[in-house]
Chain A
Amino acid sequence: DAMVIQNPRYQVTQFGKPVTLSCSQTLNHNVMYWYQQKSSQAPKLLFHYYDKDFNNEADTPDNFQSRRPNTSFCFLDIRSPGLGDAAMYLCATSSRGESWETQYFGPGTRLLVL
């Protein structure tokens, strides 16, 4: 009965090699988020989708892109990963029907950049 699924759980990539992280949800929530969390830091919102409307945070580097082909799936593309992009990437969802501030998180993908 997984609700927010992230694959893979661990991803190793090389410096500068594009990588895609995926998130899917079975909740039919209309809002999906991507957060970056580094060790001992707060989760930092990168961007979110309200349905198909994309909302980028002002300080999210251009190196980070996202796609949401349908309600269930959302992807995070890192075009040229740097060593500083090593982090946990968390996908979350929320619903207009429920309190949108109650966010359901996936287990995260831990990215290592070599």
Chain B
Amino acid sequence: RKEVEQDPGPFNVPEGATVAFNCTYSNSASQSFFWYRQDCRKEPKLLMSVYSSGNEDGRFTAQLNRASQYISLLIRDSKLSDSATYLCVVNRVRYALNFGKGTSLLVTP
């Protein structure tokens, strides 16, 4: 089983739609969880951390379910500029992160 698994997509949604991405991780000892965003042929950039209580940043909401080892990202009111690949990231050991392959999102007019 891969350490971090994501549905690769692509997810094609119209502007204004709500879209949700899921991610599962295999290491129950993981303590830190993140969503990174990667634009085509660019470097990954931190989108948001994921906390046990769930957290929201504008149109983005992240949730963590430790019992199920499951992380989600919800994007409301999708914009064209949200088109990118969203990487689920989980810490492995200190200073090392495991990245998922990413879920591709295309928001269309």
Contacts and interface: CB of A to CB of B under 8 A. Distances in A.
A50 to B, nearest CB: 6
The 10 A-B residue pairs with the shortest CB-CB distance, nearest first, are: A105-B43, A42-B99, A42-B101, A43-B99, A101-B32, A108-B43, A107-B43, A105-B44, A31-B95, A42-B100
10 contacts: A31-B95, A42-B87, A42-B98, A42-B99, A45-B96, A50-B95, A94-B95, A99-B49, A105-B44, A108-B42
A88 B101 CA distance: 14
A105 to B, nearest CB: 4
The CB with the most chain B CB atoms within 10 A, among A42, A100, A106, A108, is that of: A42
Chain B interface bracket (under 10, 10 to 19, 20 to 34, 35 or more): 20 to 34
A107 B36 CA distance: 15
Contacts of B42: 107-108
Contact of B8 (A40, A43, A105): A40
A76 to B, nearest CB: 15
Given A48-B96, A100-B94, A101-B34, A41 B101 contact: yes
A32 to B, nearest CB: 10
